[in-house]
Amino acid sequence: MASQHSFPRVSLPHDRVVIVTGANQGIGYHTAKWIAMMGATVIIACRSEERAKQAISQMNAEFLEEKKNGTEGLSDLEKLNVSFMRLDNSSLQSVMAFVTEFKVTGLKLHVLICNAGIGRHKQEYTEDGNELIFQVNYLSHFLLTAHLLPIMTTSGPDCRVILVSGAQHQFGHFRLEEIQGKQFKEETFDGLHYYRRSKLYQIMQMFSMNRRLAGSNVTVTSLHPGAVETGLLDAFDPVKIDKQRKEVRFKQPFEGSWTSINAAINPSLSGVRDVFFADSQPSTESASTDARNETYQEQLWEYTLTCLKDFLTDDVIEILTGQSSK
């Protein structure tokens, strides 16, 4: 494994701070582990403290094993600088609590990887009144990013926001009037399509946010990790998944993390924005027509701000409207 990788092994300073959401398992786990093993300070943001602590313990055990095996590019740390902070994307109050907790640490923030997500789901609404997939995969990550941007813009050069999307966004179409899906009955609600739309929104956010951050030290990119064997597949039609497995080789979670890691740490990507990556390669052309439609992007942006109006402070609004000093 050590000889086959598609991300550079670079030395990351201990004071380079990275947040990875949903990092207690799957792609997020390997993303957080490898960035930490290269030396950075990593915060894994997820719901369960117990599962997070188990993940951190496993990361450290695997770190020692990699050192024993002579794996290249590892830091000289004796123990990984990884910690847990609670984040439940189904609750906007939880997002705000996370932001408050992070601010108390006094840490800078250099990389935010919005990785957490759910797959196809039955029709369900959060305590905030939002369609569940829309909020968990997109809206809460938007709120988290918005509140962390004031910290990132003062954290030095080359700060990056990475939105983990997917190729499924190509099958999702933007319909502003259907975002919450409340006009559908439970039996006619298409959870797969709402999953696809949530992945579409992340790419649209990339373009919209970069317009507001033009000239700043913060860049936003998005990516497709590939077809990966993770628990997320449980939410999809098992017959179709089995058929796909016969047609293409699904990646293991470690392989699925490569594109996220590359986007987060590759020195050659400093200052790169508005790029959609697939298999660690720039693939903006594969972003769908809807994703690249600026009118749709701005409609989504305005709707998003309306959904979050009770959670946005003046300093955040200044950045989101492009009015803050760069």
Instruction: Please state, in angstroms and rounded to a whole number, the distance separating the CA atoms of residues 215 and 326.
Output: 7
Q: Does 29 qualify as catalytic in the annotation?
A: no
Instruction: Please state, in angstroms and rounded to a whole number, the distance separating the CA atoms of residues 114 and 165.
Output: 9
Considering 194, 195, 201, 296, which one is annotated as catalytic?
195
Please give the backbone phi and psi of residue 159, each rounded to the nearest 5 degrees, phi first: -100, 140
Tokens standing for 71?
């794996």
Q: Is the dihedral of CA 161, 223, 276, 263 positive or negative?
A: positive
Instruction: Please state, in angstroms and rounded to a whole number, the distance separating the CA atoms of residues 116 and 105.
Output: 22
Extended beta strands in 36-110, E state: 41-46, 82-86
Instruction: Please state, in angstroms and rounded to a whole number, the distance separating the CA atoms of residues 62 and 21.
Output: 20
Q: Kindly give, in sequence order, each residue whose CB lies less than 8 Å from that of residue 57, ignoring residues fewer than 6 positions away.
A: none
Q: How far is CA 146 from CA 16, 67, 295, 308, in A?
A: 20, 38, 21, 10
Tell me the catalytic residues: 195
